[in-house]
């Protein structure tokens, strides 16, 4: 299958976009490449001057899908090296990557949920960031994660206050995902 990929790349003679690892960001400076990544699937954030700002999670996803080369110093960084770096910064990075990958593969536009105190926010299929509100907040947690009922109350209440669904993406020790929706009800 790896071969097949190579062939298709050779056939189409496509050059994939390239970004530079800067701290915990990947910057795509070529305006055309930046547009390709942003306009199609809303990866990253467009900055002044047509530069595209990708988070490590987004960069990991694009790197693994062979849609982006990432340059550190003078050479291309490998997926494992970048994952290493991401996990050193945030112990939950792997769990977030697995969830991001899964949601993207399901066709969702996935963006950071920081302002809502969540890992990600996602949009209903067909909705576009900037034109529609996101519909759902996603919290990514490993299977052994301990929490109190007060923690659950907090994230549910928050989802309620912004009228978004609240999902927990549980990543088990084999990297398999289960999604839970938690909502407050009136019996």
Kindly give the interhelix angle for 79-89 and 56-64, rounded to the nearest 10 degrees.
Answer: 160
Kindly give the interhelix angle for 79-89 and 93-105, rounded to the nearest 10 degrees.
Answer: 120
Least distance (Å) between residue 38 CB and a second copy: 11
Residue 22 CB coordination number (10 Å):
11
Q: Closer to a second copy at the Cβ: 64 or 127?
A: 64
Q: Closer to a second copy at the Cβ: 14 or 147?
A: 147
Residue 157 CB coordination number (10 Å):
11
Q: Closer to a second copy at the Cβ: 14 or 179?
A: 179
Q: Which residue from 107, 162, 157, 118 is spatially nearest to 140, judged by alpha carbons?
A: 118
Least distance (Å) between residue 90 CB and a second copy: 4
Question: Rounded to the nearest 5°, which phi and psi values hold at 162?
Answer: -110, 10
> Alpha-carbon distance 68 to 88, whole Å?
22
User: What residues are annotated to the active site?
Assistant: 123, 133, 164
Q: Closer to a second copy at the Cβ: 47 or 76?
A: 47
Least distance (Å) between residue 69 CB and a second copy: 14
> Alpha-carbon distance 52 to 40, whole Å?
13
**C-alpha pair distances (Å), 169 with each of 44, 73, 78, 179:** 22, 35, 26, 5
Least distance (Å) between residue 181 CB and a second copy: 5
């Amino acid at each position: 299958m790896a071969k097949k990929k190579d062939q298709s790349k050779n056939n189409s003679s496509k050059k994939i976009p390239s970004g530079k690892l800067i701290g915990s960001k990947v910057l795509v400076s070529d305006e055309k490449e930046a547009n390709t990544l942003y306009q199609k699937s809303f990866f990253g954030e467009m900055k002044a001057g047509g530069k595209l700002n990708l988070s490590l999670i987004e960069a990991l996803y694009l790197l693994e899908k062979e849609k982006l080369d990432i340059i550190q110093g003078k050479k291309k960084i490998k997926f494992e090296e970048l994952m290493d770096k991401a996990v050193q910064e945030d112990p939950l990075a792997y769990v977030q990557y697995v969830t991001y990958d899964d949601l993207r593969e399901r066709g969702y536009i996935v963006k950071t949920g920081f302002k809502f105190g969540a890992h990600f926010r996602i949009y209903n299929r067909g909705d576009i960031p900037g034109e529609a509100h996101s519909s759902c907040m996603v919290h990514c947690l490993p299977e052994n994660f301990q929490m109190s009922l007060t923690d659950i109350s907090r994230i549910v209440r928050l989802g309620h206050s912004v009228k978004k669904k609240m999902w927990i993406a549980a990543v088990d020790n084999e990297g398999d995902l289960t999604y839970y929706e938690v909502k407050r009800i009136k019996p």
